[in-house]
Amino acid sequence: MSGRNKQPLSVIQGKGRSNHLTKSEIKKRQQQEDAMRGFTDKIDPPTYLTKKQRDDFEKIAVELLRLNIFSNLDVDSLARYIDSKTQYLELIRHIKRIKPTDFIEENGKKKAYANEDYAKLMRVKNSLFNECRSAASDLGLTITSRLKLVIPDNGKKDENKSEFEKKFGDV
């Protein structure tokens, strides 16, 4: 099915765009969202992660749990993100040691040419970066992915408005 991604009910209501939903639709949708949220009782780092990766896993998992956007079902996704990130950072360290160009001496003059290994490593770097960014976005680790879930704070402003302002806005 093409189109927009489905937004959580709280986001729709926070934006004030829930007028098209009936009370029964809202109740049904809320029940579905609660059922889909998933359990959080088995969030442990997978055994294939290194000690340092497990520490990173724990730190990020705690933050995602605080945001209520992480469950048992997301454990492997977070582990793959951390593994990709580790490989990316390791590759960056190696790339910094390699020069993008090499020199050959011909007839007493230096001639520059592209280092083929550097170009290959840069392609791998870009691939790992895209993999990392995609996983981070899926997990809500980027600001843009979290902003899609932000609930606008409209409730507090309505408390200070008169009945007229609530019905007709700021005219």
Place of tokens 């980027």: 142
Of the listed ranges 12-16, 28-32, 90-94, the least confidently predicted one is 12-16
Report the pLDDT value the prediction gives residue 149, as an integer from 0 to 100.
64
Model confidence pLDDT, tens digit, residues 25-44: 777 777 776 666 778 888 99
pLDDT at residue 1 above 50?
Answer: no
Model confidence pLDDT, tens digit, residues 54-80: 999 999 999 988 888 888 889 999 999
pLDDT at residue 169 above 70?
Answer: no
pLDDT band of residue 105 (cuts 50, 70, 90) is confident
Place of tokens 């902003």: 147
pLDDT at residue 168 above 50?
Answer: yes
Better-scored residue on pLDDT, 124 or 146: 124
Quick one: residue 23, left, alpha or beta (phi over 0 = left, psi -120 to 50 = alpha)? alpha
Contact predicate 86/119, CB 8 Å:
no
Contact predicate 67/146, CB 8 Å:
yes
Report d(CA 133, CA 126) in Å as an integer: 10
pLDDT at residue 88 above 80?
Answer: yes
- What angle (nearest 5°) sits at the alpha carbon of residue 74, between those of residues 70 and 79? 115
